[in-house]
Structure 1
Amino acid sequence: MPEPSEALAATHSPPGAAGAGEATETPPAPGRSRRAVAQRAALTGAAVSLLLVAAIVLGSRMLRDFDSALLPYAVATVFLAFGVAYRYTVWVSAPGARRLFKKGFGSFFSADNFRRAPTALPKMIATYLGFQKFLGARSRARWAAHQLIFWGCILAALITFPLTWGWFTFTSGSGSGPGYEMRIWGIKVLGFDSLNVLGWLMFHGLDVAAVLVIPGASYFLWRRMKDRGAITGQRFAYDLLPLICLIVISVTGLLLTFSSIFLHGGGYEFLAILHMVSVVFTLIYIPFGKFFHIVQRPAAVGMQLFKYTARQDEQVFACKRCGEPIDTTPYVENLRGTMQDLKLDFNAFVEYCPRCKRALRGNAYLNHVKKGFK
């Protein structure tokens, strides 16, 4: 195995550089061919979609509780299920993601980890997945905006998906209220008065979600329009379009309520179509855009647990150059294994801290590259 400085120099050597190694092309990652991975992903997506269709039919009591007016939303969720399963299968087929998936979910469902640290997993789910405290270390404003979007979308999903699938319904014994019953799979779980606070929240939960999402998405949209760091690397379809979709969905949803209460239904049909189109487009877009990280995040929580349990065992890896701790030993070895899977010939570089990596990089340039120029 070459020394880290030599490995770096090999990728920066000019023609005729004295003492520089020959640059080599990184071989392709091992595993199935792209076609085989795509076929497997398509079969997985089809299977998940069929399972969701079966769940919709059974959960709505053989479509007895299914609202045909919500059919476009239901169809969009089926496409969403296919896209998520397809993209996830392709993602975990890559060597790095496969290791993250195995180590992450292996720690997530490890009985040994639960016995040693029974509160670690719930704590990490709450702090890392729910309240995302790691974002607060970067910026309190970004953390607050992200929380508004996160909880607004969670609330909207918990209401929209089961309602769209016909899993729960609201029925009135008198036909016009104010007493209503909420039924899940045809079983009564809650009775409420539509004129009290609980009733208002039950019927306006999506409005509450919209009020949460709009300021959060607007903040990030404003930041991407003004912040030079954000502007530099942003792409419209990947960075701006998701925020615009969230704002359009939320605004049109609030306008539907405004139309029904204050305009006696004026313009309701147009707004309903606009809202439906924006929701359907966003659901289909989720697996192939920035929102896909929502599906990936649980594996990252498992990786945090993987690192946490190693720290509990005091398995800390120190930099080979300065002796400062880098990370846990199992995590460093996992990273080394990923680089070996990718046939990267400088996997020994993981044994150095970021500061020493920069020093080694500079020395490699001075010793092997710069002196090659005449």
Structure 2
Amino acid sequence: MTEPPEASAAPAAAEPDPRSGSAGTAPGDSAGTSPAATGPRSVTTRATLAGVVVSALLILAIVLGSHMLRNFDSALLPYAVATVFLAFGVAYRYTVWISAPGARRLFRQGWRSLFSMENFRQAPTALPKMIATYLGFQKFLGARSHARWAAHQLIFWGCILAALITFPLTWGWFTFTSGSGSGPGYEMRIWGVKILGFDSLSIFGWLMFHGLDIAAVLVIPGASYFLWRRMKDRGASTGQRFAYDLVPLIALIVISVTGLLLTFSSIFLHGGGYQFLAILHMVSVVFTLIYIPFGKFFHIVQRPAAVGMQLFKYTGRQDDQVFACRRCEEPIDTGPYVENLRGTMRDLRLDFDAWAEYCPRCKRVLRGSAYLSHVKKGFK
């Protein structure tokens, strides 16, 4: 591999690599990535339309899944309305997110890798492993800090458990019915179909009726750890913002604590203060659901898309498509990933996409050489 010509003082002056085609389009790309096609107005229109469609589908699913609202609990109406706003916000924000050139390109490549039969034949267990390790157990966090990993796991599984219980109950999909009216025998029904029967006085029955309390016990220590860390750790507190970094943690703690207090009130206080706690709990949950698409919690929605991108990079490594630095010949990343990055830079009309073919160390060396030969020379 030959040594590249001397780098210029500014990255914008770097010559595009002739192997990659013109600077305006990448090989195999369509012309639909022009800025005019993804203007702010068109993106907003598409995002609004996506939000309306998803919200309408959710409302229809609530009506049909609750047997025309016969199984719908009117006391849970504020929660149901909040989930409709949540659906609109997620669809809107997600559409805006994948409209950006970089996210759109990674999103497409991820889905191509996900549905590729060739990838499935080569590595049939790759996708389940990535879902388990990247989404479920999030091993990448363990490499940073075991304490952060443990706290994140507590929040993650607590929120998953709470969502699996709260959303179906709120929508009227998930009901508990008693033949005698007061138990102890109960039937769990999903969409009106009996799934199983259980004794509410048994251990299994206790777990069924206290699932949200278990979720709260998981979430409180995890969220408290991150809140403590953001207040005490200088590195974490330097660039934090109250509304973006602290409010989500405070909201999780308030939801969990008020939920536990509801159980405490009903068991030990004979319902004392229950109405106030119920309203406080409802307000905190509704606020958090509406906040999710427009705050830090949105990464929960974004994270699954990263699995496809990890699969895209993994299959490239399996095919030995590792791209070496053009200067030192050390491996940078997979060839398809480097070309994908260059294509994104061309979409953004950044005229230094050829620099993606150099490792970070060589980029620093070339910039230093350019400074010595072009900038410092003027001071001699």
TM-score by length of structure 1 reads: 0.92
Which of 269, 273, 278 is 2:275 aligned to? Answer: 269
Tell me if structure 2 keeps the 8 A contact 1:7–1:345: no
Give the equivalent residue in structure 1 for 2:236: 230
Separation of aligned partners in 2, 1:259 and 1:34: 51
SS of match in other structure, 2:329:
coil
Which of 176, 191, 201 is 2:197 aligned to? Answer: 191
Separation of aligned partners in 2, 1:236 and 1:365: 41
Give the equivalent residue in structure 2 for 1:244: 250
Tell me if structure 1 keeps the 8 A contact 2:113–2:119: yes
Separation of aligned partners in 2, 1:145 and 1:48: 32
Q: How many residues align?
A: 358
Q: Establish whether residue 260 from structure 1 lines up as the match of residue 263 from structure 2.
A: no
Tell me if structure 2 keeps the 8 A contact 1:8–1:364: no
Give the equivalent residue in structure 1 for 2:186: 180
Give the equivalent residue in structure 2 for 1:154: 160
Superposition deviation, residue 65 in structure 1: 0.1
Please, which moves more after superposition, 86-95 or 353-362?
Answer: 353-362
Separation of aligned partners in 2, 1:125 and 1:9: 39
Q: Establish whether residue 61 from structure 1 lines up as the match of residue 67 from structure 2.
A: yes
The aligned runs of 1:37-76 (5 Å cut-off) are: 37-76=43-82
Tell me if structure 1 keeps the 8 A contact 2:12–2:351: no
Superposition deviation, residue 5 in structure 1: 4.2
Query: Which residues of structure 1 form unaligned runs of 5+?
Result: 12-27
Please, which moves more after superposition, 58-67 or 97-106?
Answer: 97-106
Q: Establish whether residue 218 from structure 1 lines up as the match of residue 221 from structure 2.
A: no
Amino acid in the other structure paired with 2:246: L
SS of match in other structure, 1:233:
coil
1:286-305 deviation per Cα after TM superposition (whole angstroms, max 9, x unaligned): 00111111111111110110
Tell me if structure 2 keeps the 8 A contact 1:2–1:345: no
Q: Establish whether residue 81 from structure 1 lines up as the match of residue 87 from structure 2.
A: yes
Separation of aligned partners in 1, 2:296 and 2:379: 43
TM-score by length of structure 2 reads: 0.91
SS of match in other structure, 1:326:
strand
Give the equivalent residue in structure 1 for 2:128: 122
Separation of aligned partners in 2, 1:3 and 1:77: 57
Separation of aligned partners in 1, 2:85 and 2:303: 21
Which of 7, 10, 16 is 2:10 aligned to? Answer: 7
Separation of aligned partners in 1, 2:37 and 2:376: 38
1:187-244 deviation per Cα after TM superposition (whole angstroms, max 9, x unaligned): 1101011111110110000000001111111111111111111111111111111111
Give the equivalent residue in structure 2 for 1:360: 366
Give the equivalent residue in structure 2 for 1:17: none
Give the equivalent residue in structure 2 for 1:289: 295
Give the equivalent residue in structure 1 for 2:325: 319
1:152-183 deviation per Cα after TM superposition (whole angstroms, max 9, x unaligned): 00000000000000001001111111111001
Q: Establish whether residue 299 from structure 1 lines up as the match of residue 305 from structure 2.
A: yes
Separation of aligned partners in 2, 1:225 and 1:366: 44
Q: Establish whether residue 32 from structure 1 lines up as the match of residue 35 from structure 2.
A: no
Amino acid in the other structure paired with 1:162: P
Tell me if structure 2 keeps the 8 A contact 1:168–1:182: yes
Amino acid in the other structure paired with 2:10: A
Separation of aligned partners in 2, 1:98 and 1:3: 34
Separation of aligned partners in 1, 2:212 and 2:7: 55
Could you tell me the percent identity over the aligned residues? 84
Amino acid in the other structure paired with 2:11: L
Which of 352, 355, 361 is 1:349 aligned to? Answer: 355
Superposition deviation, residue 368 in structure 1: 3.2
Amino acid in the other structure paired with 2:341: L
Distance change (3 Å), C-alpha of 1:369 and 1:47: same
Give the equivalent residue in structure 2 for 1:111: 117
